[in-house]
């Protein structure tokens, strides 16, 4: 009797692969420790190097790995679509980021998860370990905590700090929007955008779109449109209310998307419905970026009239993936000694990414993360 085994699921395959290698990143020495080199790499020779960098800390990045390593830091409070699964749960994701740093941009990154969860604690720990690193990539820290942590670290440190969930996602979304507008024959300066989700990604997307010249952005959170008339907003949302929703709209998602040229979903499955797309402007653009299940499936968005659809998934066309950004951003920052990633740099990166797609189509508005031109194009914008 022949038995047929069911094919292994993605979950089973992923668990087996991680178990096989006990994770997916490791540190390797640059120089072999031999009888001839040991006295120079460690005692007694290393004493001369230690004394020199102690007296001349400005040269530490030249004589140590502090000029090479990026810390990938999370407290595990907002991991992928899994939510607050804690620091241990976040570790495989941070290792994945470190892998992409190395594979895509030859940046050495160290995954670091923190079992602390207040702004004061996270800032204190990162500030304390910062002398070992050339950059800090914050990851999977929940809003609104992530806003305070990033801003404080930017003020305290002289190395680049970037919360990838905010700015990486915003940059790729902006690049995708630039090309989507070309496909539908609209000017980015004249479109109205509805952003569904006012967390880390949604807030950063709204701000960067405005910075890039989008004239009107409306943001929706769980309680409705973010507007200056609401009294339940934390500080970051109050600031957002002052710069968005210029028509003073109120209400829910339907009111936000009515007449909009594009909707950007960074919330969760089911928050964009076919009827929402039907009340948008002609040839609407739909970015449904929730992972692993988007706000609306591409086939349903297209059936409702969407002209261009993007998701965060690799198995659909037009993947809006922040892996297109963070390796090249830090590659450029390390190569050019940049100490801060500015808004203008982010807009430049988006333009560089968009330009890599010479003839955008409805199913091709953004390059692949495996396009070898991506890292150098992104890095060239960091100056």
Q: Where in the chain do CATH 3.40.50.720 domains reside? A: 165-383
Which among 97, 182, 186, 352 is annotated as catalytic?
97
The pLDDT, as a whole number, for residue 281 is: 98
Active-site residue flag, 42: yes
Which parts of the chain sit beneath pLDDT 50? 1
324-357 confidence digits (pLDDT tens): 999 999 999 999 999 999 999 999 999 999 999 9
Q: How far apart are CA 311 and CA 266, in angstroms?
A: 10
The pLDDT, as a whole number, for residue 292 is: 84
According to DSSP, the residues that pair with 73 across neighbouring strands are 112, 138
Residues in the chain: 383
Nearest to 220 by CA among 192, 193, 195, 254: 195
Q: What CATH number was assigned to the domain covering residues 165-383? A: 3.40.50.720
Complete DSSP assignment for 75-143? -SSSBTTTB--HHHHHHHHHHHHHHHHHHHH--EEEEEE-S--SHHHHHHHHHHHGGG-SEEEE-S--T
Query: Is residue 335 reached through a cis peptide bond, with omega within 30 degrees of 0 on the bond before it?
Result: no
Angle between helices 343-355 and 326-336 (to 10 degrees): 120
CATH topology assigned to domain 68-159: Rossmann fold (3.40.50)
The pLDDT, as a whole number, for residue 82 is: 84
The number of CA neighbours under 13 Å toward the Cβ of 370 is 1
pTM for this entry: 0.92
Active-site residue flag, 97: yes
Which among 42, 63, 223, 299 is annotated as catalytic?
42
Strand pairing report for 161-163 and 135-138: parallel
């Amino acid at each position: 009797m022949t038995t047929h085994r069911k094919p292994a699921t993605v979950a089973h395959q992923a668990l087996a692969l991680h178990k096989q290698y006990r994770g997916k990143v490791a540190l390797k020495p640059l120089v072999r420790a031999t009888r001839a080199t040991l006295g120079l790499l460690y005692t007694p020779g290393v004493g001369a190097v230690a004394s020199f960098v102690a007296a001349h800390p400005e040269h530490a990045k030249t004589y140590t790995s502090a000029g090479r390593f990026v810390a990938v830091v999370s407290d595990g409070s907002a991991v992928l679509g899994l939510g607050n699964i804690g620091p241990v749960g976040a570790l495989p994701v941070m290792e994945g980021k470190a892998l992409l740093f190395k594979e895509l941009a030859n940046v050495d990154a160290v995954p670091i998860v923190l079992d602390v969860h207040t702004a004061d604690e996270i800032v204190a720990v990162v500030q304390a370990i910062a002398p070992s690193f050339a950059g800090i990539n914050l990851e999977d820290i929940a809003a609104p905590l992530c806003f305070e942590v990033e801003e404080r670290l930017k003020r305290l440190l002289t190395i680049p700090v970037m919360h990838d969930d905010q700015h990486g996602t915003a940059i790729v979304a902006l690049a995708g929007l630039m090309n989507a507008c070309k496909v539908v024959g609209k000017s980015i300066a004249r479109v109205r955008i509805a952003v569904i989700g006012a967390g880390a990604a949604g807030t950063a997307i709204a701000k960067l779109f405005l910075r890039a010249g989008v004239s009107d952005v409306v943001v929706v959170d769980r309680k409705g449109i973010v507007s200056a008339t609401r009294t339940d907003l934390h500080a970051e949302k109050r600031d957002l209310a002052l710069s968005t929703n210029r028509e003073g709209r109120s209400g829910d998602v339907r009111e936000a998307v009515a007449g909009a040229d594009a909707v950007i979903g960074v919330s969760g499955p089911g928050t964009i419905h076919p009827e929402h797309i039907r009340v948008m402007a002609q040839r609407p653009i739909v970015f449904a970026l929730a992972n692993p299940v988007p706000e609306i499936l591409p086939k349903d968005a297209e059936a409702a009239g969407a002209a261009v659809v993007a998701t965060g998934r690799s198995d659909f066309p037009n993947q809006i993936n922040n892996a297109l950004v963070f390796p090249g951003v830090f590659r450029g920052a390390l190569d050019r000694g940049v100490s801060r990633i500015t808004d203008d740099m982010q807009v430049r990166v988006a333009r560089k990414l968009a330009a890599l797609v010479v003839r955008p189509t409805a199913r091709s508005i953004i390059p692949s993360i495996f396009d070898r031109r991506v890292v150098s194009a992104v890095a060239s914008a960091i100056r």
